[in-house]
């Protein structure tokens, strides 16, 4: 009953608004306002490093491929590709593509884009993803050939990165500030730290978007951004959102909502080089003290999902039968007893040889949900007789000054953009891998990850990654706490919105076309 009233009220207010809007429809652009959590650092797709830069450059630029919702690479600027052998990829480009400055897009631009990202002095954050590329050449104006130093099947997924115009960039254009792409939107205004305004590119090859103007407004605080949305100052907000705002927004009939599993995980990184957690039995016991369900349901309010293994449910490699240890304090207690950790002095904390059982768990202060997770974990650990020290500091101190230096025991953090299992496992678990901060080493796993990286056969890759995931679920260099959820809320006046797991906004353009 109450909802009906609300709906009626909304309809009235909408029709009141619609009257003048209808008259002005010929002149006024259709504008959609989207909230961003941070300003983009740059609008050069090669240098993008924050989610906002990814989301905005996706609108301004096109890549060779684009990823379908199931993460399968689909043709985009490249209309087709072939592998004469595992080390060679040949792409044929679409005809008639032009950059926003009117110049045609050719194979030279593709070669330039990937040659520059590989240059060390470019300092591209994603450079490591492309290092297996040995040579890139333009066979002719419409054909590009990639030669690899070793077979590297995940490459295709990474080729969604935007292509930049060679001539303009070599001519001195700063595309980080004034981007020039081939995408559906172009930049019309950027007030640093405040908002990015994009307008439709009329010459877009797949048809100009109906949304004439897209305003991306930066509001750092999650709660404030949600409030701005409720105050109708924004039309769309998306993850990251405060879990506590989500339930309320869901109850509001004026807002549309969609949820999907994102492409990120939140996990515990065990430092296997630290004596405290070097024993896999100890890691398993501690993992059994992580109450995933309460964390996900109560702290994340159902936005994230309980994780079963390191494979994402949306991935082609997923298997529901591979399971890490689940929450089981009784089992954990027995395991700790068996390891010789018993509370002999009655202070509530287990001890062995006169030493208390203590672990240090760390995370960063910017994410209050992670801080809450740690606080909650500590309480459960305490009840099981494990003293947990919390170490909470800001991101640079925590990440670059601590975990990346392998000084942690147990750290709570995350990975994003896992478009291929290789991206979450190869550098992270290979012996001496560059991102192997937990110093894990297992020759069997090394071999499996190598197979997964090199094989071009999807079934062979799937088998390799499932075996690898089973080893990880047993040995626990990582304990995956949750699969990160992705949420979007939008004003229903805009129609219905499909979700994109990374918060890319092309669907918003289509949505406003109604």
Q: Which 220-259 residues touch another protein, going by CB under 8 A?
A: 220-228, 230-233, 242, 244-245, 247-248
Residue environment code for 252-277, b if the CB has 16+ CB neighbours within 10 A, otherwise e: bebbbbbbbbbbbbbbbbbbbebebb
Q: Could you give the 3-state DSSP secondary structure of residue 310? A: coil
Q: Which of residues 399-418 bind another protein (CB under 8 A)?
A: 399-402, 404, 415
CB-nearer residue toward another protein: 361 or 512: 361
The nearer residue to another protein, 299 or 499, going by C-beta atoms, is 299
Q: What share of the chain is helix, strand, coil (3-state, %, to 5)?
A: 35, 25, 40
Interaction with another protein in 113-142: which residues (CB under 8 A)?
Answer: 120-121, 123, 125-129, 131
DSSP state of 291: -
The nearer residue to another protein, 119 or 210, going by C-beta atoms, is: 119
Which residue lies nearer to another protein by CB, 33 or 284?
Answer: 33
Parallel, antiparallel, or unpaired: how do β-strands 255-270 and 478-491 relate?
Answer: antiparallel
Phi and psi at 113, nearest 5°, equal -55, -50
Closer residue to another protein, CB minimum distance, 288 or 417: 417
Residue ranges in 354-373 that form contacts with another protein under rule CB under 8 A:
365-366, 368, 371-372
What gap in Å lies between CA 273 and CA 286, rounded to an integer?
Answer: 16
Q: Rounded to the nearest whole angstrom, what is the least distance from the CB of residue 444 to another protein in the complex?
A: 24
CA dist 293 → 284, 322, 416 (Å)? 17, 18, 21
Q: Which two tokens stand for residue 401?
A: 């000054």
* List 434, 456, 458, 498, residue binding another protein (CB under 8 A): 434
Q: Which of 382, 451, 463, 507 binds another protein (CB under 8 A)?
A: 382
Distance CA 315, CA 263 (A): 9
In whole angstroms, the minimum distance from the beta carbon of 293 to another protein comes to 10
Residue 493 binds another protein (CB under 8 A): no
Residue 328 DSSP class = -
Tell which one of 84, 96, 172, 193 touches another protein (CB under 8 A): 193
Site for another protein in 138-177 (CB under 8 A): 176-177
CB of 205 to another protein, least distance (A): 30
Which of 389, 415, 391 minimizes the C-alpha distance to 401?
391
Instruction: At 327, give phi and psi (nearest 5°).
Output: -60, 120
123 vs 149, beta carbon nearer another protein: 123
Q: For the CB of residue 299, give the shortest distance to another protein in the complex, in Å.
A: 8
Q: Using omega within 30 degrees of 0 as the cis cutoff, is the peptide bond preceding 240 cis?
A: yes
Beta pairing class for 478-491 and 305-306 = antiparallel
Closer by beta carbon to another protein, 205 or else 381: 381
Backbone torsion region of residue 254, taken as left when φ is above 0, otherwise alpha when ψ lies between -120 and 50, otherwise beta: alpha
* Closest approach of another protein to the CB of residue 314, in Å: 20
Which of residues 145, 178, 195, 356 is near another protein by CB under 8 A? 195
For the CB of residue 131, give the shortest distance to another protein in the complex, in Å.
8
Letters for 64-103 (x = contact with another protein by CB under 8 A, - = none) are ----------------------------------------
Cα 445 from Cα 268, distance rounded (Å): 19
Rg (CA), the chain: 25
Residues 2-41 within binding reach of another protein (CB under 8 A): 38, 41
The distance of closest approach from Cβ of residue 174 to another protein in the complex, given in angstroms and rounded to an integer, is 8
Nearer to another protein, 209 or 385 (CB): 385
Shortest distance in whole angstroms from residue 134 CB to another protein: 17
| Residue numbers 296-315 binding another protein by CB under 8 A | 298
Does the CA dihedral 234-236-241-244 come out positive or negative?
Answer: positive
Smallest separation (angstroms) from another protein to the CB of 44: 9
Binder of another protein out of 56, 97, 187, 218 (CB under 8 A): 218
Interface residue with another protein, options 189, 192, 210, 281 (CB under 8 A):
192
Please state at what angle helix 421-429 crosses helix 443-454, rounded to 10 degrees.
140
User: Cα–Cα distance between 242 and 299 in angstroms, integer?
Assistant: 10
Minimum CB–partner distance for residue 201 and another protein (Å): 25
Locate 204 and state its tokens. Answer: 């877009």
Instruction: Return the DSSP state at 433.
Output: -
């Amino acid at each position: 009953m109450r909802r009906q009233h609300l709906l009626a009220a909304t309809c009235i207010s909408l029709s009141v608004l619609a009257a003048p809007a209808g008259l002005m429809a010929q002149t006024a652009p259709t504008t959609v306002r989207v909230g961003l959590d941070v300003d983009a650092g740059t609008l050069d797709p090669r240098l993008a490093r924050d989610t906002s830069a990814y989301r905005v450059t996706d609108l301004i630029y096109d890549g060779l491929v684009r990823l379908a919702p199931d993460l399968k690479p689909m043709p985009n600027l490249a209309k087709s590709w072939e592998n004469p052998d595992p080390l060679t990829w040949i792409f044929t480009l679409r005809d008639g593509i032009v950059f926003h400055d009117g110049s045609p897009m050719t194979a030279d631009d593709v070669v330039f884009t990937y040659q520059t990202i590989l240059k060390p002095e470019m300092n591209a954050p994603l450079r490591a993803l492309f290092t297996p590329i040995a040579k890139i050449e333009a066979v002719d104006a419409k054909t590009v050939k990639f030669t690899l130093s070793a077979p590297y099947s995940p490459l295709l997924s990474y080729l969604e990165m935007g292509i930049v115009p060679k001539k303009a960039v070599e001519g001195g254009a700063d595309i980080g500030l004034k981007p020039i792409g081939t995408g559906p939107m172009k930049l019309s205004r950027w007030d640093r730290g405040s908002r990015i305004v994009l307008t439709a590119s009329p010459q877009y090859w797949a048809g100009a978007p109906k949304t004439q103007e897209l305003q991306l407004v930066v509001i750092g605080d999650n709660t404030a951004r949600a409030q701005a949305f409720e105050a109708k100052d924004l039309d769309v907000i998306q993850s990251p959102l405060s879990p506590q705002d989500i339930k309320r927004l869901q109850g509001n009939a004026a807002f549309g909502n969609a949820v999907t599993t994102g492409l990120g995980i939140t996990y515990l990184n065990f430092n296997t080089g630290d004596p405290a957690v070097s024993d896999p039995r100890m890691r398993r016991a501690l993992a059994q003290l992580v109450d995933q369900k309460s964390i996900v349901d109560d702290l994340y309010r159902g936005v994230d999902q309980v994780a079963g293994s390191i494979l994402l449910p949306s991935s082609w490699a997923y298997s529901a039968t591979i399971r890490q240890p689940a929450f089981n304090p009784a089992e954990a207690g027995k395991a700790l007893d068996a390891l010789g950790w018993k509370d002999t002095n009655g202070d509530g904390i287990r001890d062995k040889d006169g030493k208390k059982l203590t672990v240090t768990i760390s995370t960063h202060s910017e994410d209050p949900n992670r801080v809450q997770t740690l606080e909650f974990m500590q309480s459960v650990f305490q009840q099981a007789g494990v003293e947990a020290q919390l170490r909470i500091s800001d991101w640079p101190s925590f990440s670059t000054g601590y975990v990346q230096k392998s000084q942690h025991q147990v750290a709570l953090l995350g990975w994003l953009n896992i478009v291929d299992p290789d991206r979450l496992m190869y550098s992270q678990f290979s012996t001496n891998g560059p991102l192997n901060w937990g110093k894990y080493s297992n020759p069997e796993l090394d071999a499996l990850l190598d197979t997964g990286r090199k094989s071009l056969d999807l079934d062979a890759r799937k088998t390799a990654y499932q075996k690898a995931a089973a080893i990880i679920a047993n040995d626990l260099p990582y304990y995956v706490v949750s699969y990160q959820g992705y949420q979007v809320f939008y004003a229903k006046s805009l129609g219905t919105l499909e979700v994109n797991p990374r918060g890319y906004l092309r669907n918003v353009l289509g949505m406003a076309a109604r």
